[in-house]
Structure 1
Amino acid sequence: MNGNLIITIGRETGSGGREIGKMLADKLGISYYNKELLTEAARQSGLSEDILETNDERPTNSLLYSIVMDTYSFGYATSSTMDMPINNKVFLAQFNAIKTIAAKGPCVIVGRCADYALAGNEDCVSIFITADMKFRTRRISTENNLTVEKAKAFIKKTDKKRSSYYNFYTEKKWGEASSYDLCVCSSRYGIEKTVEIILNYLKTIGKIDIDV
């Protein structure tokens, strides 16, 4: 591996982005962060993990919601963040945690605008995983024991939340090819082949120089 490789993964719901990220980390022998990032953000910020998880990848323009949720946040009352809405505090906590994690060494980070937090970092490679609705519905339905209709509703709701979060906090558009270094359709290639495609891409651009 060349340099302090950081792979960030954006993903459509049900596309297998989380699984792909974990497989990449395992094959490369590097750290993996998804929900684990919330633990680091809580440790650094003083916000509880419950608050971070409740507001995870969830922007809101509701002042009332922010005020209500703010009553449950503790230990994150510096002069610069005292008057911040809770959703902004959560974003900042995750933003700082991502930078800390990236500085520690090579890793894979899933979601949470990690590509934006690490913009300008030459060691960072941003990837987006997409898939067709049939593939995603089947995965979500099976994993969560949901009907096809409920699985589709869950996918649409979650993707809308992720898209709103990303678009709200970054200067880019969620899921748009120009926002990432590489976009791969997992329903076309399958999970394992998608991992292989990403590894070949990393080798092609000189980020890794070994066969894994």
Structure 2
Amino acid sequence: MTKGAIFMSNTVITIGRQFGSGGREIGKKLSEKLEIPFYDKELLTIAAKESGISEELFETNDEKPTSSLLYSLSTNPYGVGGYSAMTDMPLNNKLFLAQFEAVQKLAQQGSCIIVGRCADYALRNHPQAINVFIHADLEARVKRLMRTEKLTEPQAKEQALKIDKKRASYYNSYTGKKWGNIDSYHLTVDSGVVGIDGAVKIIEDFAALRASYQGAI
């Protein structure tokens, strides 16, 4: 497959990931291989610039669940869009909506890879979105975190469980869906079984097969 096969079809690959599964590294390597833009923390800078909200607020609240006192976006009477005008909207929801709109604008600009930030939900109506979830069993993730983050085994296990819980709560609160549920993704990959490079290859091949299939119908 050539990089143009994905780029020309305006494909946006979203990557949800368990902590320690290597989702960011997989997305970055795939971006470099296909020569299309990659967004992870970079999305926060873009959302801050376009919304006028401090980037520091985005960073301190990044993928943090909403308080139980705040309403879920899935039941938000305002709907998505126009966050700057919703002066009575809680800050967490304003930050989410700013990222939501940033994801949609990036997808309109062309092919790219977006990690986290409920991008699969933001692009649920995008005809060329490929939603991927990267996972691995806890033992594999703990070993990876011990190696990459220089953590002890107890620290790595605690971090993996804590951040997964946070990401799940954030995703579930704002989308009304369940984080990691296979119904939300086109492809799930166990990086603990196939490795980082193997996961990159699987996603690349899947995108090529999808482009080929769509071209045939």
Task: Within 5 Å, give how 1:39-78 maps onto structure 2.
Answer: 39-61=45-67, 78=84
Matches within 5 A, 1:97-112: 97-112=102-117
Within-5 A mapping of 1:1-212: 1=5, 2-61=8-67, 78=84, 80-206=85-211
Asked whether the 8 Å contact 1:5–1:207 carries over to 2, the reply is no
The whole-number CA distance in structure 1 between the counterparts of 2:159 and 2:204 is 30
**Paired residues of 2:66 and 2:173 also in contact (CA < 8 A):** no
State the distance in 2 between where 1:207 and 1:81 align: 43
Secondary structure in structure 1 of the residue aligned to 2:211: coil
Distance in 1 (CA, whole Å) between partners of 2:121 and 2:202 is 23
Cα distance, 1:103 vs. partner?
1.1
**How far 1:145 moved relative to its partner?**
1.8
Unaligned runs of 5+ in 2: 71-81
Indicate if the aligned counterparts of 2:83 and 2:97 stay in contact, CA closer than 8 A: no
Q: For residue 73 of structure 1, what is the aligned residue in structure 2?
A: none
The one-character-per-residue Cα deviations of 1:96-133 (angstroms, maximum 9, x if unpaired) are 11011111111000000001001111111000000011
Report the residue type matching 1:29 in the other structure: E
Whole-angstrom CA distance in 2 between matches of 1:207 and 1:130: 26
Letter in 2 for 1:26: E
Q: Is the 8 A contact 1:3 1:207 kept in 2?
A: no
| C-alpha displacement of 1:143 | 2.0
Map Cα deviations across residues 136-190 of structure 1 (whole Å, 9 max, x no partner): 1011122222110011111111000100011111132111111100001000111
Q: Quick check: 1:15–1:136 contact (8 Å CA) kept in 2? A: yes
Query: Match for residue 70 of structure 1?
Result: none
Provide structure 1 residue ranges, at least 5 long, that are not aligned to the other structure.
Answer: 65-75
Give the C-alpha shift of residue 14 in structure 1. Answer: 0.4
Give runs of ≥4 in structure 1 deviating > 3 Å.
none
Alignment CA distance shift 1:77-1:205 (3 Å): closer
What's the TM-score, normalizing by structure 1?
0.88
What is the RMSD of the two structures over their aligned residues, measured on CA atoms?
2.0
